[in-house]
Amino acid sequence: MYIIVVGAGRTGRIVIDLATQDDHDVVVIERDAELAEEVSASYDCLVINADAASKEILLEAGVGEADALISTTPIDSVNLMVTMFGKQYGVETLVSSINDPAHKELFEDLGVNIVESPHQLNGEYLYRAVQHPAIEEFMPITGDAEIFEATVDAGAPIDGLSLIDADKEDLLPEETIIVAIVRDGNLIIPQGETEIQAGDEVTIFCGNGATSEITDIFTAS
C-alpha cells in the first residue's frame, strides 16, 4: 500500500513504525524540522518537511496515487483540511485522529474513519482500571457494549466450570459472551462444554458494559 502519514508526533510515529515494518510505501509530512529529520533518519520512508494543510504539499506527497491518508496532528482544523483534500483526490481510505469530540460529526460527514484523542482513550482506560481492576484491556463498541480481557483467578466463581454450568448457575448475564480463551499460549474458541480454568486469559463481549457483576465472575473474593 501507498500510505501518506501527516504528523510525526507520538501517534504518528507509531503509525509510521508499523507501516514501514509491514513494508508499505510511506510518505510522511511533518512541519517540525527536528521531528522530520528524526523520522527521516529512523525509518525507510520519504519525509516532507512542510505544512500538510496545503494542496501543493499533498500533491508533492502523491495524494492522487495514495491508497490511504492518515492524519495525526493535534489540530483538528488541519486534520479536517488534510482529509478534505484526500477525499477530493479520491484517496480510498481516510483516517484521522480527533482531539475535540465536538468535531466528530464534521469528519463523519466526509466519510473519514476517526479515532478519538489518545488522551481521551487513555483517560477512559485509567478510569476503567480503577472501576474494575480485573480488566486488562477493554474496547468500547457502540452504546454500552464493550469487549474486555481478564485473567481468571484461582477460586473465582467461574473457575472450573464449563460454559454450560456457568449458564445454569446464572453467572453470565444476558448479552455476555466469552468469545475467546488463551491458555498456555494457545487460542481456544470456547464451546458449551469448554471448562474455564484459573490462569485463562478470556475475552468477553458485554452488551450492557463491563459491570462489576460481570468482572467479579473472574476474580477471587
Superfamily in which the 121-218 domain is placed by CATH:
Regulator of K+ conductance, C-terminal domain (3.30.70.1450)
Cβ-based neighbours of 34, under 8 Å, separated by 6 or more: none
Total Cβ atoms within 10 A of residue 67? 13
- Cell numbers at residue 69, please? 491518508
Question: Do residues 58 and 4 lie in contact, with contact meaning Cβ atoms separated by under 8 Å?
Answer: yes
Give the C-alpha separation, 23 to 19, whole Å. Answer: 7
2-116 is a CATH 1.10.3720.10 domain: no
In order along its 221 residues, the chain shows pLDDT tens digits of 999 999 999 889 989 999 999 999 999 999 999 999 999 999 999 999 999 988 999 999 999 999 999 999 989 899 999 999 999 999 999 998 887 878 888 888 888 887 766 555 555 555 555 555 556 666 666 677 888 888 999 999 999 999 999 989 989 888 888 999 999 989 999 998 999 999 999 998 988 777 778 888 898 87
The closest alpha carbon to 116, from 129, 134, 141, 98, belongs to: 98
Local structure of 126: helix, strand or coil: helix
- Cell numbers at residue 166, please? 456457568
